[in-house]
Structure 1
């Protein structure tokens, strides 16, 4: 008995007084945790599963080196603001590292959102408010959103907006009750010519009420104005 007790005492003595915490162990439930160091080290920023960030503040932008997704949704992390540019996805319960394996993600992350499915990481149309036309500089509603407030042009009576030299969009969401006609000139006019053998001309690019779309060639990056109409025959 004495020998057994001595062995047990020796076994207890070799155990560390305080076991080292596991990486990311400090991340609370229902939280996306971002860290300035690897393996969940360094400064930590917490976001609940309901907190998305189209852009981080200057104190955190381009600082993330590791992350733990302790939410029930997919975490989408973006290099550019407005859910734009390259992205990484983290499934529920997993962690991720942004070190030297791919330098495009080393201290470059600028925003995130948490969504029910991974497919929603690749779109950003949900930011468009009801009864508005929204344009985006990247495909699938990604990048900083421009929300257009309809107004009546006193000269042409066009119920729409003229962009002037504003950056032309690559994708559009029409959340109004009217159809929207887009034009290559800021004065609700102009035409496009296709590259087909017939050199077909188009006077307007139409997005029907409630529709969202990535704009194809030859229309992409060319919109300068739009108007809202009740029927597509009303396009200029």
Structure 2
């Protein structure tokens, strides 16, 4: 197995190369936030700025952020709250988001991102 299929059912997995290739990890969500949302506000040196692709096999929306502490994305005058990967989806991140993720949440609705 070399791609997204390495991600186990019910898990959110992140990868350091496109199409689920390269070094992989199942995420941890140690923060319990309001509204049943869980998250990881700091990917630390291990994954901060290294995520290129994602497999979301959880039943939640995966919400990814630019900064530690769930920081928004800023593109010139445009601000995007979160890059969202819906449940059951897998993707290679668009180039603007690759190697920029520093934190994430899992939420039961996209509006909670």
Residue equivalent to 1:234: 112
Structure 2 unaligned residues grouped into runs of 5+: none
Stretches of 4+ moved more than 3 A in 1? none
Q: What is the CA–CA distance in structure 1 between the aligned matches of 2:68 and 2:46, rounded to whole Å? A: 10
- CA 1:150/1:130 → structure 2, altered by over 3 Å: closer, same or farther? farther
Out of 67, 71, 75, the residue aligned to residue 189 of structure 1 is: 71
Match of 2:44 in 1: 164
- 2:83 is aligned, of 174, 190, 205, to 205
1:203 offset after TM fit, Å? 1.4
User: Which of 21, 24, 29 does residue 150 from structure 1 map onto?
Assistant: 29
CA contact (8 A) 2:72 2:79 kept: no
Q: CA shift at 1:164, angstroms?
A: 2.3
**Which of 51, 55, 74 is the aligned partner of 1:173?**
55
Q: CA RMSD in A?
A: 1.8
Partner in structure 1 of residue 101 of structure 2:
223
- The 5 A counterparts of 1:17-32 are none
Structure 1 length normalisation: TM-score? 0.42
Alignment coverage as a number of residue pairs: 108
TM-score normalised per structure 2: 0.84
Structure 2: how far apart are the matches of 1:217 and 1:192? 14
Look at both structures and tell me which one has the larger radius of gyration over its CA atoms.
Answer: 1
Q: What are the ranges of 5 or more consecutive residues in structure 1 without an aligned counterpart?
A: 1-51, 53-82, 84-123
- Given that 2:14 and 2:53 are in contact with CA atoms closer than 8 Å, whether structure 1 keeps it comes out as yes
